[in-house]
């Protein structure tokens, strides 16, 4: 049983510290994952909060069929997709708002992606298709296996395998454009 599962069960049993531990452990990764859908860090933060509110208010049943993290990211993905379906308006942002959002995003990315190499890879990820970015993020940054990714993205394991292969090829091209020595992907 992983820490997320233990903490969630503690929370369900009435220990509020269980939810505090879950939020501490998963909030940053969940924000960046949701941001891959929204493209707006502030919206991603709000949707991350909505995801945790769902856990607190609805207390959905968690079955240990998948890891807690897989289950949580699936809820986060569904929350993001629901938001995108509801919000059909695109509003224009001022230069100051865009600048502030870019600064905030850079701060969180630098904190979360501690090495220069990971930052370069992350920037290159922003230039690939959304599905490619999601599958790479889930696989390499969050260490989900293909079965867990398939559950989160609502695809078959074979589709995830193919998607991961194509996404690595697309990322390789982006990294080569920056002169990055492509070694491990």
* 130-169 pLDDT per residue, tens: 888 889 888 888 889 999 999 999 999 999 999 999 998 9
Residue 29 shares a structural domain with residue 95: yes
Residue 10 shares a structural domain with residue 92: yes
Residue 107 shares a structural domain with residue 162: no
The residue to which tokens 């942002």 are assigned: 93
Rounded to two decimals, what is the model's pTM?
0.59
Residue 16 shares a structural domain with residue 94: yes
Range of the domain at 92: 1-111
Query: Which comes out higher in pLDDT, residue 181 or 23?
Result: 23
Is 184 part of any domain? no
């Amino acid at each position: 049983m992983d820490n997320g599962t233990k903490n969630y069960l503690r929370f369900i049993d009435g220990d509020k510290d269980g939810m505090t531990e879950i939020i501490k452990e998963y909030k940053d990764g969940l924000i960046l994952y949701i941001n891959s859908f929204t493209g707006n860090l502030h919206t991603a933060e709000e949707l991350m909060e909505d995801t945790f509110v769902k856990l607190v208010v609805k207390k959905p049943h968690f079955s240990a069929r998948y890891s807690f993290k897989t289950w949580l990211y699936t809820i986060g993905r569904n929350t993001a997709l629901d938001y995108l379906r509801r919000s059909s308006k695109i509003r224009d942002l001022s230069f100051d708002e865009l600048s502030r959002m870019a600064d905030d995003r850079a701060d969180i990315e630098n904190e979360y992606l501690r090495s220069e190499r990971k930052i370069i890879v992350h920037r290159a990820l922003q230039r690939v298709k959304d599905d490619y970015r999601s599958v790479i993020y889930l696989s390499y940054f969050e260490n989900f296996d293909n079965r867990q990714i398939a559950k989160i993205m609502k695809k078959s394991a074979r589709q995830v395998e193919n998607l991961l292969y194509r996404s690595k090829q697309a990322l390789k091209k982006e990294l080569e454009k920056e002169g990055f020595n492509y070694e491990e992907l």
